[in-house]
């Protein structure tokens, strides 16, 4: 992985530093971030939200269902769930067992159904049947952790956020943007590197790239365009850190 340290500009190392920069203009995190932001925007000009939804409430449910489940599977299940109920009041009136039966293909059905029912009741009783627009209120809901809240804030309300999922956590390390010791650290590092107005699209673009190219196994960090551009001399594999992404399966970091 490339060093994140800035180049020394001591007088007698100036020639060396500038020649190294010429050899690899992406030696700094900041330079890599600028390149990645531009290149990912070229590769993915459109950033459609992967989870099918109708409004903030249905997005919240879809994100909750996506814990330990693919977006594709969630999108196969939510039409039946939203046919049964699309508002917090209607969902709160459904038996938990009925919700669980519908969402079973997503896994963790008993916990997810309980959380969906409980959070729907809280939305009715405490938030006028609406999804709240603050991180604190969202994260206080059953089954909703910081990542889920970040997705809802970004994709439903357009508030800048940087939800860190498996792909983003892994790529932040492989692109030398974060040490990746924890999901929280990765989020802090990425927020510091990219302008706030880029966060919402950029997190989706990184996910799209990760899904297309970058799996947990089988890549030594030299296989595709972005790593080859950023790390032309990379020889050693870059392995994901040991940070735990999920403490509570429904809280999702």
- Residues annotated as part of the active site: 147, 165
Shortest distance, CB of residue 66 to ligand SF4, whole angstroms? 22
Q: Per CB under 6 A, which region of 121-129, 135-143, 183-191, 215-223 contacts ligand SF4? A: 215-223
Of 132, 143, 221, 241, the one binding ligand SF4 by CB under 6 A: 221
**H/E stretch holding 208:** helix 199-213
CB closer to ligand SF4, 111 vs 222: 222
Collect all residues with Cβ–Cβ distance below 8 Å to 134 and sequence separation of at least 6: none
CB closer to ligand SF4, 80 vs 224: 224
Of 65, 168, 226, 250, the one binding ligand SF4 by CB under 6 A: 226
Q: Where are the beta strands (DSSP E) in the chain?
A: none
Residues 144-183 as x/- pattern, contact with ligand SF4 by CB under 6 A: ------------------------------x---------
214 binds ligand SF4 (CB under 6 A): yes
10 Å CB burial of residue 196 (0-12, 13-18, 19+) is exposed
1 binds ligand SF4 (CB under 6 A): no
Contact 118, 250 (CB under 8 A): no
Contact 151, 139 (CB under 8 A): no
CB closer to ligand SF4, 159 vs 219: 219
Picking from 45, 33, 12, 59, the residue whose alpha carbon sits closest to that of residue 156 is: 59
Angstrom distances, CA of residue 89 to CA of 47, 92, 102, 127, 162: 31, 5, 18, 11, 30
23 binds ligand SF4 (CB under 6 A): no
Backbone angles phi, psi at 158, to 5 degrees: 70, 20
* Other residues' Cβ atoms within 10 Å of the Cβ of residue 23: 10
Q: Per CB under 6 A, which region of 50-58, 75-83, 130-138, 220-228 contacts ligand SF4? A: 220-228
Shortest distance, CB of residue 31 to ligand SF4, whole angstroms? 17
Q: Per CB under 6 A, which region of 78-86, 107-115, 148-156, 221-229 contacts ligand SF4? A: 221-229
Residues that bind ligand SF4 (CB under 6 A): 174, 213-214, 219, 221-224, 226-227
């Amino acid at each position: 992985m490339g060093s994140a340290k800035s180049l020394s500009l001591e007088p007698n190392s100036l020639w060396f530093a500038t020649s190294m920069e010429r050899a690899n203009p992406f030696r700094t995190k900041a330079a890599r971030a600028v390149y990645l932001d531009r290149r990912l925007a070229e590769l993915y000009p459109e950033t459609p939200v992967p989870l099918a939804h109708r409004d903030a409430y249905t997005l919240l449910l879809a994100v909750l269902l996506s814990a330990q489940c693919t977006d594709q599977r969630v999108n196969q299940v939510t039409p039946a769930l939203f046919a049964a109920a699309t508002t917090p009041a209607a969902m709160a009136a459904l038996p938990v067992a009925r919700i669980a039966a519908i969402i079973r293909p997503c896994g963790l059905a008993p916990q997810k159904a309980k959380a969906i029912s409980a959070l729907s009741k809280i939305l009715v009783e405490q938030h006028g049947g609406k999804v709240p627009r603050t991180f604190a209120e969202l994260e206080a809901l059953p089954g909703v952790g910081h990542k889920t809240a970040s997705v809802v804030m970004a994709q439903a309300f357009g508030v800048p956020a940087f939800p860190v999922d498996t792909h983003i956590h892994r790529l932040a390390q492989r692109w030398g943007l974060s040490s990746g010791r924890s999901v929280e650290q990765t989020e802090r590092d990425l927020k510091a590197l990219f302008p706030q107005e880029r966060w919402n699209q950029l997190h989706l673009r990184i996910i799209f790239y990760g899904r297309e190219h970058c799996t947990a196994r089988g890549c030594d960090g030299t296989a595709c365009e972005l790593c080859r551009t950023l790390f032309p001399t990379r020889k050693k594999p870059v392995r994901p850190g040991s940070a735990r992404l999920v403490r509570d399966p429904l809280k999702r970091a």
